[in-house]
Structure formats: C-alpha cells, structure tokens
Amino acid sequence: MRLFACRVFPRGTLSRRTMVNVMLLSMLECINRRCHIASSCTAWMQQFQAQRQLFRRKLEAYWTSTITDCRGDSCKLWSKVGQLLKPNTVQPNQHTASDLANHFTSKVWNIYTSTAEPPTIGCRSTPSTPFSVLRTVTVEEE
C-alpha cells in the first residue's frame, strides 16, 4: 500500500486525515488478527473500503487538477504522465559490508569500554554493632 501511495501521490500530498485512516486500518487489522471476532472483521473491512474510496477520490482529484493545470501544453502533460511510466529508481547502497561491520564493531567496542569497569561507589563505613553483641529487648523497653 505504501508503494502505491508513494508512486501515485507526490511527496507531501497525503493529508493528516489520510494518515489517520491508514493507522486506524492497521490497528483494526491487528485487532481482527488477534481476536477473530466477526464484528472486528466487519469493522476492518469497512475501514479498508473507506480507505480505498478515499485513495480513489484523492487520485482522481490529483490527476484532474494536474490535467487542468496543463491546459493545451502537451509537453507539460507528458512530463507528468512520464513520471508514472518510468520505473522507480532505487539508489544503490553506498556502504559496503565491511563499512557496516566496522561501524557496529566500533559501537559494541565503545559500549564495552565504557561499561568494562564499574564506577567505584564512595561508601563511608559507619560504626555498627555486630549481631552477637546485641542484647535482648524486654517488654518494658518497647
């Protein structure tokens, strides 16, 4: 679903309402998978239908306004349509496996060295009486 939304709607065009609908659908799906109750399944399917209709309306509104903005300018229109026709280009990862290994090894090493020796606790010894020296308490002393 995310790929569809990213591909069809330009970045930043999904409203807060749309994002809330997506989160609500996800929450209802989790409840449905956990509980297996007919009412939760119905609520999930209704929310899914509502989200699908919302995306269709947004898609239609976006392309209607885009085509209207390109009035008579076929080059501008084809440049917009061309964005849909060309495949997504994935940026190659610039980090090598050894870069990642070195990064995480240094992170682990830094944590290890910072926690290798526990800090000394400055406790003062206080005078106390050993248990063998304690005397018994009488009823009158309570």
Give the pLDDT confidence of 31-58 residue by residue, as tens digits: 777 777 777 778 778 888 888 898 899 8
CA distance linking residue 96 with residue 104, whole number of Å: 13
Side-chain-side CA neighbours of 91 within 13 Å: the count stands at 3
Give per-residue pLDDT as tens, 119-130.
Answer: 677 777 777 777
Residue 53 resides in a domain:
yes
User: What is the total count of domains within the chain?
Assistant: 1
**What per-residue confidence (pLDDT) applies to 104?**
92
List pLDDT tens digits, range 57-116: 988 998 889 888 888 888 888 888 888 788 777 777 788 889 989 999 999 998 888 887
**Residue carrying structure tokens 């106390």:** 128
Q: Is residue 40 assigned to a domain?
A: yes
Domain encompassing residue 76: 2-85
How far is C-alpha 9 from the chain's CA centre? 20
Q: Is residue 56 part of a domain?
A: yes
Domain membership of residue 103 (yes or no) is: no
Reduce the DSSP state of residue 19 to 3 states and report it.
helix
Q: Specify if 101 maps to a domain.
A: no
Q: Is residue 131 part of a domain?
A: no
Q: How crowded is residue 28: how many other Cβ atoms within 10 Å of its Cβ?
A: 19
Establish if 22 belongs to a structural domain.
yes
Q: Evaluate whether residue 133 is within a structural domain.
A: no
**Residue 5: band (very low, low, confident or very high) from pLDDT cuts 50, 70, 90:** very low
Q: At what angle do helices 16-35 and 38-69 cross, to 10 degrees?
A: 160
